[in-house]
Structure 1
Amino acid sequence: MEHIHDDFSIEVLQCKQWKERNRKNNFFELVYVLEGTGFHSVNHIRHPYNRNGIFLLPAARCHSYILEEETTFLFVRFTNHYFTSRIRDSVDYSNWFNKLNFILANHDHHSGELINDPDDRFQLKRLLDVIRYEYEKKEDCSPFIIRNTLASALALISRNIQRKVFDHMDLKDRRFADLVTYINSQIMEPEKLTVSHLSDKFHISEKYFSQYFKRNAGETFQDFVLRSRLRIAASRAKFTDTPFRNIAFDLGFTDSSHLNRMMKKYTGKGMRETRKEIQA
Structure 2
Amino acid sequence: MKRYILHTPFNIYHFEATTWQHAVHKHTYFEIIFIIRGNGIHTINGNTYDYTEGDVFLLGPEDYHDFVIREPTEFCFIRFNESVYRHSSGEKDNGWQSIVKTLLSTSSQSRGTLVADKQEKQKLHNLLAVLEEENKRDQAPYFTIIRDSLLRSMLMILARNLFSQTPARTQTNDSAEAILMYIRQHIYQPDKLTIDHLADVFHYAPAYISLFFKKQTGESLKQYIVKHKIKLIEARLLYSPLTLAEIADEFGYTDESHFCKQFRKYTGQTPGSFRKRT
TM-score if structure 2 supplies the norm length? 0.51
Distance across 2 between alignment mates of 1:43 and 1:6: 25
For the pair 1:113 / 2:116, whether they are aligned, the reply is no
Q: Are the structure 2 counterparts of residues 166 and 105 from structure 1 closer, same or farther at C-alpha, using a change threshold of 3 Å? A: farther
Alignment map for 1:208-227 (pairs within 5 Å): none
Shift of 1:151: 0.6
Number of positions where the alignment pairs a residue of Structure 1 with one of Structure 2: 175
In the alignment, does 2:28 pair up with 1:25?
yes
Find out whether 1:100 has 2:105 as its counterpart: no
1:80 to 2:103 alignment: no
Name the residue aligned to 1:179: none
The answer for the alignment partner of 1:228 in structure 2 is: none
Give per-residue Cα distances to partners, 1:209-252, cap 9 Å, x unaligned.
xxxxxxxxxxxxxxxxxxxxxxxxxxxxx9xxxxxxxxxxxxxx
Q: What root-mean-square deviation, in Å, do the aligned CA atoms of Structure 1 and Structure 2 show?
A: 3.9
The letter of the residue matching 2:81 is T
- 8 Å CA contact retained: 2:85, 2:152: no
Query: Paired residue for 2:48?
Result: 46
Aligned-pair CA distance for 1:118: 2.7
Residue 111 of structure 1 deviates from its aligned partner by 5.3
- Match of 1:216? none
TM-score, L = length of structure 1: 0.51
1:268 to 1:144, Cα distance in 2 relative to 1, 3 A:
farther
Instruction: Give structure 1 stretches of 5+ with no counterpart.
Output: 169-237, 239-262, 270-279
CA positional deviation for 1:42: 1.9
Distance 1:17 1:111 in 2: 24
Q: Is the 8 A contact 2:27 2:63 kept in 1?
A: no
* Higher RCO (C-alpha under 8 Å, 6+ residues apart): 1
Ranges in structure 2 where 5+ consecutive residues have no aligned partner: 170-235, 237-248, 256-274
8 Å CA contact 1:83, 1:96 repeated in 2: no
Distance 1:164 1:131 in 2: 27
| Residue 59 of structure 1, aligned match among 58, 61, 66 | 61
Q: Secondary structure at the match of 1:92?
A: coil
Cα distance in 2 for residues equivalent to 1:78 and 1:165: 28
In the TM superposition, what is the alpha-carbon distance from 1:105 to its structure 2 partner?
Answer: 3.7
Give the direction of change, closer, same or farther, for the CA distance of 1:25–1:96 in structure 2 (3 Å limit).
farther
Confirm or deny that 1:154 pairs with 2:155.
yes
- 2:55 and 2:121 in contact (8 A); partners too: no
Letter paired with 1:60: E
Spell out, residue by residue over 1:129-163, the C-alpha distance to the aligned partner (whole angstroms, 9 max, x if none). 21122223444243332211011111111122232
Q: Percent identity?
A: 22
2:10 counterpart of 1:8:
yes
